[in-house]
Structure 1
């Protein structure tokens, strides 16, 4: 049983956050490892050898782990925690999300541009709406995310979305169902957490409508 008396999903691997001490699905957690020279390094692909340390993808969690010695306890030995660890994790996540969207675009599962996105939304072809965090709010409210959870990603800048779509900058994009979309949503949620987005980066925006 989990906290609150709810049954746990035993099919999902669970990990303990070194900052909060809470145990739960590894979704939303960042894996870190200790390098051969005892330095904490990110393992965003979760493939590096060695003992894994898991931490919630928020600046607050990293601050807590630093303050309370969570990294040392998790590693069970003295370790060096780089000053730029949080920045390195954030940049690595951004690069990963951009790369995944780029792969989705090449596979025909992603489009960019207001009119194309609007058309996909109207045809119910889009599962996730992408919008640049630094785009015009007035312009962004003209499009509404598809119904359901995890249907909106707003943690990337226009330049980052531009890289994903092979353009100088992009404000509006969309992802179709299937393919890489689930992975994009999962990684974007972590990035959003590191960037302090209240909606988690994949929450449906309310109060908007298509025009």
Structure 2
């Protein structure tokens, strides 16, 4: 009987250690809240930017080589889905903390860099508005909202070790938590672009 009790205690201790290790590898409550807040705020920003716009306003281009508001929305929606699809396979693999040495940005610096419209960058061909799977702004907004809400639910509930699942991509190296911040900042980057289009002197009244 004594031996059974000892074995039971050992198993319970091992379970506690395992649970504590899992908990210690989770993102902090502050990190979780920060990501949820950024995702929520930037989602609202997209919808606020296009609220009440007419078809003429949605499709106005400041120049032939510039994007319209509709183009920006189609890009945001496509990127919301495709960027997260780049991260999901990494989460299915074992944590690769040794790759953290290759990360160049802090969380805040990454957000600032993505949102900085003074630095231009060309998007992937698959994310060009012309290649978007969404044919209308309404369709794109519906898809964006659906995928954004899934991402918010994920960050709210996940117990995954996001910091030690590192993505090594042609555009840089980020941990999975940072990549969620990047997705949120990306939508804000193009919300700024929408507001630039709306501020053009030729924008329909």
TM-score (norm 2): 0.29
TM-score (norm 1): 0.28
Higher radius of gyration, 1 or 2:
2
| Structure number having the greater strand percentage | 1
| Structure number having the greater helix percentage | 2
